Structure 1
Amino acid sequence: MRSYTIALAGNPNTGKSTLFNALTGLRQHTGNWAGKTVTSAEGFFEYDDASFRIVDLPGTYSLYSNSTDEEAARDYIIFENPDVTIVILDATSLERNLNLALQVLEMTNRVVVCINLMDEARRLGIKIDLKKMQEKLGVPTVAISARSKKGIDELLKQVMLVASGAVVPSPISITYSEEIEKKIAAIEPQVREMFGTHLPSRWIALRLLDDDESLLTSLKKWLQRDQNAASRKEVLQYGETACH
């Protein structure tokens, strides 16, 4: 049986835990993220002759290392490299929720966007053009109501397509100012040389430019676990210099 890992990301109060519980039922357990007091939860389910392990990331509004919750969510997506990251959005607050979705899309292309609380949106007279959203974001986009379990089968169908490689999303690419783009272009080759295709080089270059000390700490820990860490230390020092 094929097996895949899913990360479940989203803002607080988007119905993330409701979806997690609907998928896993009693096949779940909780603990703490390594070295942090933040609670972690993971569960298991089967779909289409495949087994899935789903990790419920801490609810966050961003992944910019402003809290231990954000660091835990960020590090899981970057370093654990899940087969699919489901980003769950509140249909009644899409503009606010899309901030996190766009950040995840800069980190990985293996994403399915899940718009939850569609029943509430309809009650409020909110209409969402799923086709247009999918075209704009460049990743599969599904509408559900987790509480009533509507749309979950379509969500799992899209998750399976991305996890298996049958669908390879091409997320929207965010372009920054000319000055920032020049700096990214200068740093990114060094990042790529150090990490290859294992980590998102453009995203890491952007975070280095933003002086993300927390990410540097996490990168060092990741490198220490890597067999070739010694040969890459010089390039990491280059990245630290670029931050200051």
Structure 2
Amino acid sequence: MGNEYRIALAGNPNTGKSTLFNALTGLKQHTGNWAGKTVSLAKGSIAFKDTRFQLIDLPGTYSLFSNSKDEEVARNYIVFEKPDVTIVVLDATSLERNFNLALQVLEMTKNVIICINLIDVAEEQGININEHLLTNRLGVPVIKISARNKKGFSKLLDTIHRIVTGEIACHPIPVKYPQEIEEKIEKIEPKVREIVGDHVSSRWVSLRLLDGDESLLGEINRYLSLKGGDVNEYRTALQ
């Protein structure tokens, strides 16, 4: 067996994310709690070609703004633990609502797969989803599946494999905000980049700071071992 890669599964509650996780990993999984948290942790593994994928089922959340322990755990894992690939599971019958989380993840990390689940239900409702158009507009692979029927699993696993082996390069298309916000990002991002380097997306950190996410400062300080003076540099950058 070759290399092992960590694959995170993110998604809103009731999108079939855990169904996908269970179907892929079968009995090769275990549960517990995240370190220092009461939030449950589920891990499992699956072998594919010459690799092994360790799947981490992140808590189901509607956003990653650290408004709850679940959101905090999911956000911190994606940003600081840096899984090799993050799969965002969407409900094909509620794409507009689900895309809020997907766009947040695309701002946080590069190697992302948008996995549209419940495609069989959507088709029964007359919903047609053009995954090729979405792929072009988002800059990352978009794959349609049915987790309960194990439809699309081969393509999903092959796409994961092609990303981790470098055959596919993901280039998420950044969300463009109103001019006033973009000007503020342009002003503070270079200062943020000096502090976080390549550890975290400087654009994403800049956005969160503009939104007043003070709790993020402590998390960055803890995960990247920054000194207290560095945290003050973030506040200076906002002035």
Q: 1:196 and 1:242 mapped to 2: Cα distance?
A: 15
Q: 2:187 and 2:134 mapped to 1: Cα distance?
A: 32
Matches of residues 46-65 of structure 1 in structure 2 within 5 Å? 46-65=47-66
Q: Which residue of 2 aligns with 1:75?
A: 76
Tell me if the contact between 2:188 and 2:238 (Cα under 8 Å) persists in the aligned partners: no
Query: CA distance change for structure 1 residues 109 and 223 in 2, over 3 Å: closer, same or farther?
Result: closer
Q: Which residue identity is paired with 1:135? A: N
Kindly state the Cα deviation for residue 234 of structure 1 after the two structures are TM-superposed: 3.3
Q: 2:6 and 2:221 mapped to 1: Cα distance?
A: 24
Q: Which residue of 2 aligns with 1:109?
A: 110
Matched, 1:235 2:236: no
Kindly state the Cα deviation for residue 240 of structure 1 after the two structures are TM-superposed: 3.1
Q: Which residue identity is paired with 1:29? A: H
Matched, 1:167 2:202: no
Q: 1:241 and 1:212 mapped to 2: Cα distance?
A: 15
Q: 2:81 and 2:181 mapped to 1: Cα distance?
A: 28
Q: Deviations over 1:9-33 (max 9, x none)?
A: 0000000011000111111111112
Q: Deviations over 1:116-155 (max 9, x none)?
A: 0011111111111111111111100110000010100101
Q: Deviations over 1:24-78 (max 9, x none)?
A: 1111111112222111111111101101111100001111111111111000000
Secondary structure at 2:41 match in 1:
strand
Q: Deviations over 1:59-112 (max 9, x none)?
A: 011111111111110000000001000001100001101111010000111001
TM norm structure 2: 0.96
Secondary structure at 1:136 match in 2:
helix
Q: Deviations over 1:215-237 (max 9, x none)?
A: 1121111132xxxx45xx43321
Q: Which residue identity is paired with 1:235? A: D
Q: Which residue identity is paired with 2:200? A: L
Q: Which residue of 2 aligns with 1:194?
A: 195
TM norm structure 1: 0.94
Tell me if the contact between 1:208 and 1:242 (Cα under 8 Å) persists in the aligned partners: no
RMSD (CA atoms): 1.3
Q: Which residue of 2 aligns with 1:95?
A: 96
Tell me if the contact between 1:191 and 1:205 (Cα under 8 Å) persists in the aligned partners: yes
Q: Which residue of 2 aligns with 1:128?
A: 129
Matched, 1:16 2:11: no
Kindly state the Cα deviation for residue 243 of structure 1 after the two structures are TM-superposed: 5.8
Q: Which residue of 2 aligns with 1:119?
A: 120
Tell me if the contact between 1:142 and 1:151 (Cα under 8 Å) persists in the aligned partners: yes
Q: Which shifted more, 115-124 or 161-170?
A: 161-170
Aligned length: 238
Matched, 1:216 2:217: yes
Secondary structure at 1:64 match in 2:
coil
Percent pairwise identity = 58
Unaligned runs of 5+ in 1: none
Q: 1:212 and 1:243 mapped to 2: Cα distance?
A: 12
Tell me if the contact between 1:216 and 1:240 (Cα under 8 Å) persists in the aligned partners: no
Matched, 1:141 2:142: yes
Unaligned runs of 5+ in 2: none
